[in-house]
Amino acid sequence: MTSNDLFQLNQKDTIGKEIHSSVFTQDHIGALREALYRGLLPNAEWATLESVSSFFPALLPPVRNEPSPDQDGALVHETGPEVEEPKEDEEVVAGTHPENFIHDVEDEIFERKFSEPSQVFQTVEELMVVINDYQETSGNSLAIRRSRGSSRAFACISHANCSFRVAFGPKARQEGIILKRGNCNLWHSGAAVTAAKDEWKGTLYLATVKSAGDDLYPVAFAITVDGEDFHGWLWFLQHLKLPPRYGFRNSNISESANNMFHDARNGNWLDAIDGILIKMSLRITKSQSKYEGKDGVVDNILGLATKRWENCVGCRVYASGNDGETYSVYQKLGGELEEEALLKVRPVDCVCDCGKWQAIGVPFVHGMAYFRHQM
């Protein structure tokens, strides 16, 4: 990323009313996560920042459908299933069962946003603040369930006649991945939300970002009254502002050129050429000043050549062959046996039997002996 900002989200609902717009830094989100964990899992031994870094509650009650009229025109309210209970292969790690979890803040926070639009887009950061504040005042908490013998965890939210869950963790990504875009994994989970007789009908879309440590962090989620389809994903992606995949450099040469000369591409071709030339001149000047101001590659090569020139004293050089381009160099290696080495040098091709001339392009002692012999 090119700045200290982790990501920037600008969301608007389908009727154009602004819901949320803010910039979150890495420090802000880290402090928010730490505060959330203290409220969620105060007594759990495994509830450290590292061990549960990818387990976040990321759900809100879905959109409440209007009651449907029966054949006589009277309004009928459908009743939903009972609250989901823990399965046999799952254990409640911490927290109490969150029945009526968002009861007090529903009218104040959520119903205001869910009443008019048929689709709702929300960021996890704003939800986490609401959850944390509500738990500190009411003493309630979410239920974090972890399967035995598995690294999966489920963040469960229940409200009235509706309950559903979303799984986080290394193995959880095998369930429900729909597509990938850049560094963001887009998740879809229907679960009990799409139950036929559920009073809270809809489809949940969830976006998470995978960190360098292979941890998953929720970014945003959306709830729609319709089932999963192309238009639902299109609406979700239009609201989701993903962080850039890369900075200035990119593995794709065409993308690198487009990023480098982005401003020039928007003008006419003369301005584009001038912009490219100016950009390249600035880069060359910057590189020159970089190596002139400190010991760089050029200084190291000159020092290496000087050292080899001094070490070639004492080598004997003889012409070898009839072509006049190959020479034999005798070098004293020292030691108790006064060993000598005989190597052939071909200066016209920058080749030496030792191979060090070809390796870095600077003549070794044998090549330097040839040049000293020609003086």
Query: Which residue's entry shows tokens 């299933």?
Result: 81
Percent over 90 (pLDDT), the chain: 0
Please calculate the CA angle 79-187-26 and round it to the nearest 5 degrees. Answer: 115
Those residues with Cβ within 8 angstroms of residue 197's Cβ, 6 or more apart along the chain or in another chain:
78, 79, 80, 81
Query: What rounded mean pLDDT belongs to the chain?
Result: 51
pLDDT of residue 214: 54
Model confidence band, residue 133 (pLDDT cutoffs 50, 70, 90): very low
Per-residue pLDDT of 276-309, as tens digits, reads: 778 778 877 777 776 665 555 555 677 778 888 8
Residue 292: Cβ-neighbour burial (10 angstroms; 0-12, 13-18, 19+): exposed
pLDDT of residue 311: 80
User: Could you give the C-alpha distances from 214 to 27, 159, 169, 170, 326, in angstroms and in order?
Assistant: 19, 32, 9, 8, 58
Q: Report residue 102 CA to chain centroid gap.
A: 32
Q: Which two tokens stand for residue 121?
A: 């887009």
76 compared with 210, residue with greater pLDDT: 210
Residue 45 has pLDDT above 80, yes or no: no
Give the pTM: 0.24
Query: Which residue's entry shows tokens 């879309």?
Result: 205
Tell me which residue of 244, 240, 243 sits closest to 10, measured CA to CA.
Answer: 240
277 compared with 65, residue with greater pLDDT: 277
Residue 81 has pLDDT above 70, yes or no: no
Q: Report residue 28 CA to chain centroid gap.
A: 17
Per-residue pLDDT of 167-188, as tens digits, reads: 433 333 333 322 333 333 343 3
Domain assignments of the chain as residue spans, ordered by start:
5-239, 253-292, 308-373
Model confidence band, residue 259 (pLDDT cutoffs 50, 70, 90): low
